[in-house]
Amino acid sequence: MKNEWPLWEVFIRGQHGMSHRHVGSLHAPDAEMAIKNARDVYTRRNEGVSIWVVEAKHIAASSPSDKGPLYEPSASKVYRHPTFFDIPEEVGAM
């Protein structure tokens, strides 16, 4: 029998209109307790208006060893950055 509670990843939305951000992880026996634990561990200083928890095993992640084929090709594609346009001054900050 496994005695460790599963690991949950915690996402908190700081204000209305912002997106949830990953803030850390914790252990809990189920989703409901994970939200309560997240409330106690991560919102003590008034950080949040909404909490998401996801059991860590349900998160699929890219493999660090694939980082060459995944990310390097985009390094040489300067034309993908919209930096070749003259922006009229009246437009202001973009």
Partner 1 sequence: MSTAVTSGDDALFEFLCRMGDSTLVLGHRVSEWCGHAPVLEEDIALANTALDLIGQTQLWLGLAGEVEGKGRDADKLAFLRDGWDFRSALLTEVPNGDFGRTLMRQFLFDAWHSIYLGRLLKSSDKRVADIAEKASKEVSYHLERSADTVVALGDGTEESHARMADALAYLWPYVGELFAGDAVDAAMVEAGVAPDPASLREEYDALVGRILEEATLALPEGRFAHKGGRDGRMHTEHLGHILTQMQWLQRAYPGCTW
Cβ neighbourhood burial of 25 (10 Å; 0-12, 13-18, 19+)? middle
When asked if residue 54 is in the footprint of partner 1 (CB under 8 A), the reply is no
Measured between alpha carbons, how far is residue 58 from residues 6, 8, 14, 86 in Å?
A: 11, 9, 24, 45
When asked if residue 52 is in the footprint of partner 1 (CB under 8 A), the reply is no
When asked if residue 53 is in the footprint of partner 1 (CB under 8 A), the reply is no
User: Which residues, other chains included, contact 87 with Cβ-Cβ below 8 Å and sequence gap of 6+?
Assistant: 94
One of 21, 22, 36, 57 touching partner 1 (CB under 8 A)? 36
Cα 50 to its chain centre, rounded Å, is 14
One of 23, 26, 51, 53 touching partner 1 (CB under 8 A)? 26
Paired residues of 63 in beta bridges:
none
The region of 26-34, 51-59, 69-77, 82-90 touching partner 1 under the rule CB under 8 A is 26-34
One of 5, 6, 13, 52 touching partner 1 (CB under 8 A)? 5
One of 28, 48, 51, 53 touching partner 1 (CB under 8 A)? 28
